[in-house]
Amino acid sequence: MKNNSKKSELKSQTQKSAVFETDNKRNAECVVLKAAGYPFDFEMMESSLEITDTGLFEQYARDQWLGMEINNESYLFDQKIIPDFAFKVISVKPENSIISETTKIKIILDETDKLKNVKSIKSSIKLSDIVGQVNAKNKIKVIEKYLREPEVFGSWAPKNILFYGHPGTGKTMLVKGLANEVEVPLYLIKATSLIGDHVGDAASKIHDLFEKASKNSPSIIFIDEIDAIALHRSFQSLRGDVSEIVNALLTEMDGINENEAVITICATNNSSSLDSAVRSRFEEEIEFKLPDDEERRQIFENNLETLPLEYDLDINKLVKVSKNMSGRDIKEKILKTALHNAIANDKTVVDMSDIDYALKSGKVKISDVKGMFE
């Protein structure tokens, strides 16, 4: 017991030496911790930790490490109840700051609990189902090869890719098709789902997402509407939690935590609204374009194959009136609305009058539909 006491006392003194004068240091707003265990493995030591009250732990941690300067990926050692038990700093806002009496301290609990809501999705979509987007399909051949043979690439591995372009042009479909073809887990989430109710929640969610993907690699993380959280600096004052989210995302994208054989693909409709630091992490930006005449014709034909009613439609005219529309617009705003109108009017055949109704309901400019009944 005496040896343990001396060791604890010595460790405490070492840890105290890391405390700096706070005059020129910023106070930490939020710290996210994860139990890391002991630095050595002894038979009588239990490496796991069960925290039953996170609020009580926050007060316990704050009192113990008050005044300490911390950074991302550093460690804090307990010197009270479980001497020398380590906690890893997953994220701290701002970096190089000091734990104060107002610092929020979050703890990532057992992996089973924290990762249970992070699930991969399965899809039956194939790359051949996606009409057009030839350039995007060619670009992702690199990702496809890497996911099939990650060990071949080494330091040349693709990591962070940005899909951008008009809504409904197939960004999500392409990712689903890629994951299905290569048979890897796909973690598809809306960026807004990463926003938490409390300070520190977002950083914890992002860490959990990448950790789950890493545990099941090779895998794909697809973050849709990335601009909702990774806003350009000029807009960040509108959202107080943005900087926390951006910093956590940058930590994962930079590979500070090893995420081997994990591809991060983000999507946005407007790449110019992205935070410049986040945008600089993308090795490749792949544009998704609106379909041309022949591609729109194929989109109509593919969707009409599964229409639940008979139809009497002029495909040439449909191609003409759908100029500047995406594949999703063609299905949702034209064909689906036309189908529902026909059913509502007890019709057994969808015809051009239903298309006319759909175009008017979708507030398509009259100039866009000129000549529809010529």
- Same-domain check for residues 156 and 28: no
- What integer pLDDT is reported at residue 345 of this predicted model? 94
Considering the domain architecture, whether residues 136 and 273 belong to the same structural domain is answered as yes
Residue 115, in any domain of the structure: no
In angstroms, the CA 118 to CA 187 distance is 8
pLDDT at 341: 94
**Mean pLDDT on 302-316:** 94
In a shared domain, residues 152 and 260: yes
Q: Within this chain, do residues 257 and 304 fall inside the same structural domain, yes or no?
A: no
**Do residue 155 and residue 262 come from a single domain?**
yes
**Per-residue model confidence (pLDDT) at position 242:** 63
Q: If you average pLDDT over residues 198-212, what whole number do you get?
A: 77
Residue 254 has pLDDT above 70, yes or no: yes
Q: Does residue 259 register a pLDDT over 80? A: no
Q: Is the pLDDT of residue 314 over 90?
A: yes
If asked whether residues 33 and 55 sit together in one domain, one would say: yes
Count of structural domains, the chain = 3
Residue finishing a domain among 270, 288, 306: 288
Residues 264 and 357 in one domain: no
Domain boundary among 267, 288, 309: 288
Domain end, chosen from 241, 258, 288, is at 288
pLDDT at 167: 92
**Strand, coil or helix: what is 178?**
helix
Report CA-CA distances (Å) from 60 to 53, 107, 154, 227, 372. 11, 12, 43, 37, 72
Whats the size of the chain, residue-wise? 374
3-class SS at 85? coil
Give the span between the Cα atoms of 95 and 197, in whole angstroms. 22
Whether pLDDT at 79 is above 80: yes
Rounded mean pLDDT, 47-55: 71
Q: Indicate the average pLDDT of the chain.
A: 81
Percent of the chain scored above 90 by pLDDT? Answer: 38
Measured between alpha carbons, how far is residue 132 from residues 129, 138, 170, 298 in Å? 10, 11, 9, 9
The residue behind tokens 């700096």 is: 20
Residue 358: CA count within 13 A, CB half-sphere: 25
Q: What is the pairing mode between strands 186-190 and 75-77? A: unpaired
- Stronger pLDDT, 198 or 351, i.e. the higher one: 351
Does 15 have pLDDT greater than 70? Answer: no
Asked if the model's pLDDT at residue 291 lies above 90, the reply is yes
Q: From residue 107, how far is each of 81, 87, 307 by CA, in Å?
A: 17, 9, 51
DSSP letter at 271?
G
**Same domain (yes/no): 11, 138:** no
User: What is residue 29's predicted lDDT score, i.e. its pLDDT?
Assistant: 87
Tens of pLDDT, residue by residue over 107-146, are 876 544 444 566 778 888 899 889 999 999 999 999 999 9
